[in-house]
Each structure stands twice: as C-alpha cells, then as structure tokens.
Amino acid sequence: MNGTQRRREMLQFAKEQGSLTVSQVASHFGISKMTAHRDMEKLVERGVVRRVFGGIMPLAAEAAPEERLRPAAGSGEAKATCLVCFRAAPQNLFYALTLVGGEQRVACCPHCGISAHLNLKEQVTMAMATDFLSCKLHPANRSFFVVDSVAAPCCHPSVLAFETQEAATRFQTGFGG
C-alpha cells in the first residue's frame, strides 16, 4: 500500500474512531511510529485532521471537506478549492487560514485569502501564504505582497505573496505592481 492510500485509510479510520494515536496507526498499518507520525503530519497540513496529544482527530466535514485538501506536490490528489471563489488552489498561490478551534480554510490566492481574513477577523488564529516563486508556505503577516502586477494568474487585482522583500521587489521590477 502506498502512502497516499494509507493516509486515505487513516483519515477514514480516524473518522470512524473519533481519534487515532500514533501507536494505533503504526500497529494497524504495520509501519514504524515515525512513519505514522509523518503521515499524520501530512493530514494535518492538508487541513483534514488536527493534532491532539499523542495523535490526531478529524475535523468536522463541513469545516474541511476532502475537496478542500491541499495537494502534495506531484501526488495527483484532489486540489483544494477556495472558500471565497471556489476555484482550485494552485500550489504557488495557496493561502491558508486556521480558525479558533483548529478549523482550517484555504483560499486560491492571497487576494481571496486576505479578503476572507478581513471577513473572519477575530476567528483567524493563523494565516499562511505561499511564496509565489518558491511555493514555500510562510506566515502571511511576514509576507511581502505585490498587488496588480501584469502577472495575473488568478483573481483580479492580482495579489502575489513573497517571503522576502528582495524577491517581491525583483518581481515587481519585471512585472509591475
């Protein structure tokens, strides 16, 4: 069984049981505790479970339906859909919000992510943006944004996140904004 199939079964098993421990996963799938831990972290990253002491607990279906999963690079898994415009969330534009209680929501781009963040206000405990060039997820409050450049891969006006000011400035020099 490959990792993707195992994580799907883990998610189903967690939904049936209400929660799973690292030991339960390792025993059930015949894998090491370290592999179980890594698999659990991937499910947490995708926003379908939350970490609890010693394991995971599934999020409510309405909070993080499977169609909102962030795809792993090259995995062929379902793409996340935006909570604002319902478009697929591309890997280099992905914007994630964690709400009070651990619920996670995703946006297709910083334009929709910031809009949702402003609407949800105090409910947001953490916001993560993806660097447009490196696809690296980082805290949105430490991002540098380029607004309305000629590169408009998603919503209008385009809003692109960068992890460093240098990258944002270099991008802006070439593509405006």
Residues 8 and 26 in one domain: yes
pLDDT of residue 167: 93
Residues 85 and 157 in one domain: yes
Q: What is the pLDDT of residues 130-151, one digit of tens each?
A: 899 888 888 999 999 999 988 8
Residues 51 and 128 in one domain: no
Residues 132 and 165 in one domain: yes
Please state the rounded mean pLDDT for residues 154-165.
90
Nearest 5°: phi and psi at 52? -130, 165
Residues 46 and 87 in one domain: no
Please state the rounded mean pLDDT for residues 6-15.
88
Q: What is the pLDDT of residues 46-93, one digit of tens each?
A: 888 888 777 888 875 433 333 333 333 444 443 567 888 878 777 778
pLDDT of residue 67: 35
Instruction: Flag whether the pTM goes above 0.75.
Output: no
Distance in angstroms (rounded) separating the CA atoms of residues 75 and 4: 8
CATH number at residue 11: 1.10.10.10
Assess contact for 135 and 95: CB atoms under 8 A: no
Residues 108 and 49 in one domain: no
Distance in angstroms (rounded) separating the CA atoms of residues 85 and 114: 13
pLDDT of residue 21: 87
Please state the rounded mean pLDDT for residues 21-44.
91
pLDDT of residue 16: 82
Residues 105 and 148 in one domain: yes
Residues 20 and 101 in one domain: no
Q: What domain count does the chain have? A: 2
CA 68 from centre of chain? 9
Q: What percent of the chain has pLDDT over 90?
A: 32
Query: Residue 133 belongs to what domain range?
Result: 66-175
For residue 13, is pLDDT > 90? no
Q: What is the pLDDT of residues 85-122, one digit of tens each?
A: 878 777 778 898 998 888 888 888 999 999 999 999 88
Q: Which of 94, 92, 118, 115 lies closest to 106, judged by CA?
A: 94
Residues 168 and 91 in one domain: yes
End residue of a domain, out of 11, 30, 58: 58
In the block, which residue shows the tokens 């607004």? 147
Residues 78 and 150 in one domain: yes
Residues 51 and 104 in one domain: no
Residues 117 and 78 in one domain: yes
